[in-house]
Amino acid sequence: MLCFGYPIPVLCQWVSPMTTPPRRPTLNHVLIVKDRHGPKAYWLTAELYSLGRDPSNSIRIDSQYVSRHHAILVKTESPSSPDGFTYQIIDGDIQGTPSTNGLYIRGQRVEFRDLEDGDEIQFGNDATATYSLQTQDLDRILSTFENTQIVGL
């Protein structure tokens, strides 16, 4: 069975893939990662991201408490979202192996979750990420992230 081109039945169990083209984006989906090297902002546009300590990940998190392949983000259909989609975070790697320290959102350990604006994801003792939906134009967004490295523009 293939899921997003990958042979992963576990991933397909949790994710409702986008079946219709998304409406024109009205929001900027941003993931702000805070680790030992300070904050980094990632503009999310791709269908799939891998997160973890290993340099091969789409989004690298520098922390000894983060697994090499800690989690994945998948763009999923969301009729309640103004632009028709959201991102779902799933604990573990692309093969379905869970991370060592897990994912915590709003203080609760989760295996997977559709992210909402303002959700803070805890990856370990010293690494977090905040999912943010921004309606402002890019220049205004950048001006609010003083001392933040912008990645993926």
Alpha carbon distance 69, 108 (integer Å)? 20
Mean pLDDT of 29-38: 93
Residue 81, domain member (yes or no): yes
Q: Is the pLDDT of residue 128 over 90?
A: yes
Contact 10, 106 (CB under 8 A): no
Q: CA 99, CA 119: separation in Å to the nearest integer?
A: 19
Range of the domain at 63: 9-151
Residue 138 maps to a domain: yes
Q: Is residue 60 part of a domain?
A: yes
Any idea what the CATH number is for the domain that residue 89 is in? 2.60.200.20
pTM of the model: 0.75
Report the number of distinct structural domains present in the chain.
Answer: 1
Q: Is residue 4 part of a domain?
A: no
Instruction: Tell me the pLDDT band of 113, cut-offs 50, 70 and 90.
Output: very high
31 falls within a domain: yes
Inter-residue contact 90 to 112 (CB < 8 Å): yes
Q: Which residue has the higher pLDDT, 71 or 20?
A: 71
The answer to whether residue 131 sits within a structural domain is yes
pLDDT tier at 138 (50, 70, 90 boundaries)? Answer: low
Evaluate if residue 17 carries a pLDDT over 80. no
Tell me, yes or no, whether 2 lies in a domain: no
